[in-house]
Amino acid sequence: MRPTLKTRHTIPSRSLAAATLPDILKRLYANRGITEASDTDLSLKHLLPPQQLRGIAEAAGLLADAIEGEARVIIVGDFDADGATSVALAVSVLRQLGLKDVSYLVPNRFEFGYGLSPEIVALAANQEPDLIVTVDNGISSHAGVMTAQGFGISVLITDHHLPGEDLPAADVIVNPNQPRCHFPSKALAGVGVMFYVLTALRAELRSRGWFDQTGREPPNMADSLDLVALGTVADVVPLDRNNRVLVAGGLARIRAGRARPGIEALLEVAGRDGRTISSGDLGFILGPRLNAAGRLDDMSVGIECLLAESHAAARPLAQQLHELNRERRDIEADMQEEAQAQMSALALEPAAMPFGLCVYQPSFHQGVVGIVASRLREQYHRPTIVFADAGDGELKGSGRSIEGVHIRDVLDSIAASHPTLIDKFGGHAMAAGLTLPAARLGEFETAFNETVAAVLSGVPPEPILETDGELGASELALETAELLERAGPWGQHFPEPIFEGVFRILEQRLLKERHLKLQLGHEDQRLEGIAFNVDLEEWPDPGADKVGLVYQLAVNDFRGERRAQLVIRQLWKC
């Protein structure tokens, strides 16, 4: 579905206009809501202090007691990149702080499902821990916390997901989205929450004289920002200023050659140069390789890669993640083809399509349904849930939404109006997961469509693509592309700049039978453009001499030669 274009045009404030910044950056920052020039300073001194996080002092005290008392601690994580980076951060820093017995468990999604379930607590109990710490999960784990208490195990929940009406009865909860938490940023990823908890723990141990007593050197928490940046961007949380400070700090460490061996190895197998890494590389290159382990195999492969203390240890694990990601892409391609066949069978005009899409095939892979949901959401601009068979008469679904439809709230509404329909659910505004009885899929499909329709007041959603307008001839240059690359970090709610314009077609050809490579003319310039996965019935077209584009201005670094390139998001013949 081709979107309607809308040009962002916000006049920079006086403060921003007076800043010593290139004019193009003033324009882009104004379009993203920045009004004060000081907000473009992403140095670490601008990080929000941890004290306003509800429960953080208690969490620091609980962990400090565990370290001083030589307690046995198990970290229970999630099987995505945010979960993996959170686990690696917790384990590595707790070890640096002097905790002698710390290990981790990540539920296998195919056996245990998500979060601190009673089953994963029972598995953890075999190791006789004194304390379980959740990262990137736990805020909905009422039964798991009760099970832990039955074993006499204390529980510290660190999470960022939205809570339900009631909180689990854990010893301590740290979550910026829990009631009565006054932390200004509600957008922290799970790894960001753990970063703050460990920062507070370091302060607590310092106040107790722990470092003086043991002769340990307090860890530099900035050393962990490579993990924080990776988990934050890969989890697609909004990049408010606080998250941009965290991500910018992590990118600076990676570019300076100070990343941990696991991240360096992931960059190496992906063929990326860490010196020029961008936030997009974290989200689209490194994140998928980590996620592939949790989707297809065991996330411990990814965690061990991040925990590796040498390149020799990290490299084979990174290569294994790289191969898993290739396998994931092949599975995704097959699932996407089947999903498209289902959608084509509907043979509906966009305005007649359901408000909410549900897709299911018995052959679908549980670990890849979220990616396919995302692809269908992008193509049809509808909230979409893709289901896979989970065995025992159950389906597991992963959903992706559009602006204006909070998908977790939609599921909450369905659960309230159909109390026995959904077994369990959770998530964010834009992404959620659920399980339900396979026999009730049709009933859920109807309820989902009706609930989304109600949210949208019965008006079919139309995609709108906001651009930053046109670039002048002098701005269509490598220098501008490099400036934009350095000016981020760009991401969710702080989008990477995209531009529009009309260009002459000088040459066109297909790459790998599905990507359109263009040589473009603009005034007296010659530019390269690439459009991925084009409609082969439309392109290439020898009769087309002009093309309208929506594009990103990027750096194409090929065999050591850097050139400006238009990465095309939309194209149409003029």
Each residue's pLDDT tens digit, 261-311: 999 999 999 999 999 899 999 999 999 999 998 888 889 999 999 999 999
Q: Is residue 101 part of a domain?
A: yes
Mean pLDDT of the chain: 94
Residue 104 shares a structural domain with residue 224: yes
How many folded domains does the chain comprise? 3
| Domain endpoint, select from 260, 290, 321 | 321
What is the pairing mode between strands 464-467 and 4-7?
A: parallel
Taking the model in full, what pTM does it have?
Answer: 0.91
Closest by CA to 172, choosing from 145, 200, 191, 203, is 145
Tell me which DSSP letter residue 491 carries.
Answer: B
Q: State the Cα–Cα distance between residues 151 and 570, nearest whole angstrom.
A: 57
Contact indicator for 86, 231 with CB cutoff of 8 Å: yes
For 332, the token pair is 């995704």
- Pairing of the two strands 499-511 and 515-522: antiparallel
- Indicate the helix (H) or strand (E) that contains 36: none
Co-location of 529 and 385 in the same domain? no
Q: Is the pLDDT of residue 454 over 70?
A: yes
Q: Residue 375's domain is classified under what CATH number? A: 3.10.310.30
Q: What is the pLDDT of residue 347?
A: 66
pLDDT classification of 113: cutoffs 50, 70, 90: low
pLDDT of residue 1: 65
In this structure, is residue 332 part of a structural domain? no
Q: Which of 462, 478, 504 is the last residue of a domain?
A: 462
- Alpha carbons 56 and 41: distance in angstroms, whole number: 27
Question: Alpha-carbon dihedral of residues 538, 541, 544, 546, nearest 10 degrees?
Answer: 70
Residue 353 has pLDDT above 90, yes or no: no
pLDDT at 65: 98
Quick check: is 22 in a domain? no
Task: Examine residue 24 and state whether it is found in any structural domain, yes or no.
Answer: no
Residue 40 inside a domain? The answer is no
Using alpha carbons, select from 172, 169, 173 the residue that is nearest to residue 159. 173
- For 355, the domain range is 341-462
| 455 is a domain residue | yes
- Residue 112 is which amino acid? F
Whether 3 is covered by a domain: the verdict is no
Residue 71, strand partner residues: none
Q: What was the pLDDT predicted at 557?
A: 82
396 located within any domain: yes
Span of 3-17, 181-195, 345-359, 507-521 with lowest mean pLDDT: 345-359
* Three-state secondary structure call for residue 50: helix
Query: 489 and 371 share a domain?
Result: no
In this structure, the answer to whether residues 410 and 471 fall within a common structural domain is no
Residue 550, helix vs strand vs coil: strand
In this prediction, residue 53 carries a pLDDT of 98
Q: Residue 424's CB: how many other CB atoms inside 10 A?
A: 16
Q: Are residues 107 and 155 in the same domain?
A: yes
What is the domain-level CATH number for residue 535? 2.40.50.460
Please indicate, yes or no, whether residues 59 and 165 belong to a single structural domain of this protein. yes
